[in-house]
């Protein structure tokens, strides 16, 4: 049986975060040969992962399964979202042209059959980084024929037309873009982003042949139940096929505090609500994140539970 620990986002968290966490917020400690292989592939390839940069509580579990979510286009984000611990900065148009090759080598070394690529926001680039996503996809497919690929992209705020034109030909793939929260909370949670723009991007993604559209919501930021249900309505309306729902956990004291620790039963109920709206692939649990068990063709019987 794996050892477990209570998840603590940071050793110097706020009074709200330092209160005793609910018993369901437990994670297995990472380790073993697959963890070591993942660590080695990331380090030797000089690659970034969202697992590390966003302080994901699932890193130990996922790396011990031999999988990771790669963060491309650097580790400096041109936005400063209230929930995210990825470092903000000004990349000034710099792109690592050798990253696709190193990434493909790491994916081959890890013997992955499914890989998730995400990126920081790159508002400094005319295409938001879409061409770099394309180059990474092509390099990975050349190194690992038949691999399945999932993208988790920014909103391409000023360049959605260019991004869609660049990436449409890379199907089949899963294309994720996270709405993250309800419209009322956007000013605090996603400053610089726009809920309707994200919905419009997802609607256009869902229309692309061979592309499955995916999105994600965090709970525990002060959203109301009726607001969440309206977001589920919106996502179903624009054609989302895959959805993840997870608990927001404060990565460091610099991010927004947790307002509520949501009971697992509520995640199960919301998963049922999403399925009733026609969203066929739903993952929902306190520790679910955008790419958590992304390779699963069918999430298990209860939301967030896998055989």
Domain ranges of the chain: 4-284
> In the structure, what pLDDT confidence band is assigned to residue 298 with cuts at 50, 70 and 90?
confident
77: which strand partners? Answer: 88
Question: 307 or 24, which is more confident?
Answer: 24
Q: Is 223 exposed, middle or buried (0-12, 13-18, 19+ CB in 10 A)?
A: buried
Band the pLDDT of 24: cuts 50, 70, 90. Answer: confident
Residue 221 clears pLDDT 70, i.e. is over it:
yes
pLDDT score of 11 more than 50: no
Confidence of residue 175 (pLDDT cuts 50, 70, 90): very high
pTM over 0.85: yes
CB 70 within 8 A of CB 99: no
In the chain, what is the greatest distance between 2 CA atoms, to the nearest angstrom?
50
- Is pLDDT of 235 > 80? yes
User: 239, 258, 262: which is closest to 249 by C-alpha?
Assistant: 258
Q: Is the pLDDT of residue 305 over 50?
A: no
pLDDT at 26 > cutoff 80: no
Contact 236, 198 (CB under 8 A): no
Task: Tell me: pLDDT of 157 over 50.
Answer: yes
133, pLDDT greater than 60: yes
Residue 27 has pLDDT above 90, yes or no: no
Angle at 177 between CA 176 and CA 183, to 5 degrees: 145
Q: What is the pLDDT of residues 34-66, one digit of tens each?
A: 999 999 999 999 999 999 988 888 888 899 989
Residue 131 has what pLDDT?
Answer: 98
Least Cα distance to 83 among 223, 243, 293, 265 occurs for: 223
In 10 A of CB 246, how many CB atoms? 24
Q: Quick one: average pLDDT of 149-153?
A: 97
Residue 10 pLDDT exceeds 80: no
**Which tens digits make up the pLDDT trace of 104-117?**
999 999 999 999 99
* Cα-trace Rg, the chain: 18
Report how far apart, in Å, the C-alpha atoms of 277 and of each of 231, 262, 280 are: 11, 22, 9
Q: What is the pLDDT of residue 28?
A: 64
Higher-pLDDT residue of 238, 5: 238
Q: Is the bond preceding residue 86 a cis peptide, omega within 30 degrees?
A: no
CATH superfamily for 4-284 is Aldolase class I (3.20.20.70)
Pair of tokens at residue 210: 């061979």
State percent of the chain over pLDDT 70: 89
Mean pLDDT of 80-84: 91
Residue-wise pLDDT for 194-209, tens only, equals: 999 999 999 999 999 9
Q: Is the pLDDT of residue 302 over 80?
A: no
pLDDT, mean over the chain: 89
Q: What contacts 24+ positions apart, CB below 8 Å, involve 2-5? A: 2/28, 2/29, 3/28, 3/29, 4/28, 4/29, 5/29
Q: What is the mean pLDDT of residues 13-42?
A: 73
Mean pLDDT, residues 19-37: 79
**Sequence-separated (6 or more) residues with CB below 8 Å from residue 193:** 79, 81, 155, 157, 186
């Amino acid at each position: 049986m794996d050892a477990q620990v209570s998840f603590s986002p940071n050793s110097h968290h706020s009074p709200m975060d330092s209160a005793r966490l609910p018993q369901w917020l437990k994670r297995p400690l990472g380790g073993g040969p697959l963890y070591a292989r993942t660590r080695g592939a990331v380090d030797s390839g000089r690659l970034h992962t969202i697992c590390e940069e966003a302080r994901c509580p699932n890193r130990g579990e996922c790396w011990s399964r031999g999988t990771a979510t790669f963060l491309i286009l650097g580790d400096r984000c041109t936005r400063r979202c209230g929930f995210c611990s990825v470092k903000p900065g000004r990349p000034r148009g710099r792109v690592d042209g050798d990253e696709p090759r190193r990434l493909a080598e790491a994916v081959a070394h890890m013997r992955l059959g499914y890989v998730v690529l995400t990126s920081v926001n790159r508002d400094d680039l005319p295409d938001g980084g879409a061409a770099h996503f394309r180059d990474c996809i092509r390099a990975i497919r050349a190194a690992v024929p038949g691999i399945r690929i999932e993208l988790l992209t920014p909103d391409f705020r000023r360049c959605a037309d260019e991004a869609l034109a660049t990436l449409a030909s890379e199907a089949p793939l899963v294309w994720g873009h996270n709405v993250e929260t309800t419209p009322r909370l956007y000013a605090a949670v996603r400053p610089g982003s726009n809920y309707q723009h994200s919905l419009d991007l997802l609607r256009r993604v869902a229309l692309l042949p061979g592309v499955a559209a995916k999105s994600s919501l965090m709970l525990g930021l002060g959203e109301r139940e009726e607001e969440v249900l309206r977001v589920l309505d919106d996502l179903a309306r624009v054609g989302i096929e895959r959805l993840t729902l997870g608990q927001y956990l404060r990565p460091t004291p610099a991010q927004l505090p947790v307002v509520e620790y949501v009971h697992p039963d509520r995640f199960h109920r919301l998963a049922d609500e999403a399925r009733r709206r026609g969203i066929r692939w739903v993952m929902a649990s306190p520790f679910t994140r955008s790419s958590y068990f992304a390779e699963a063709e069918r999430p298990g019987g209860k939301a967030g539970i896998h055989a």
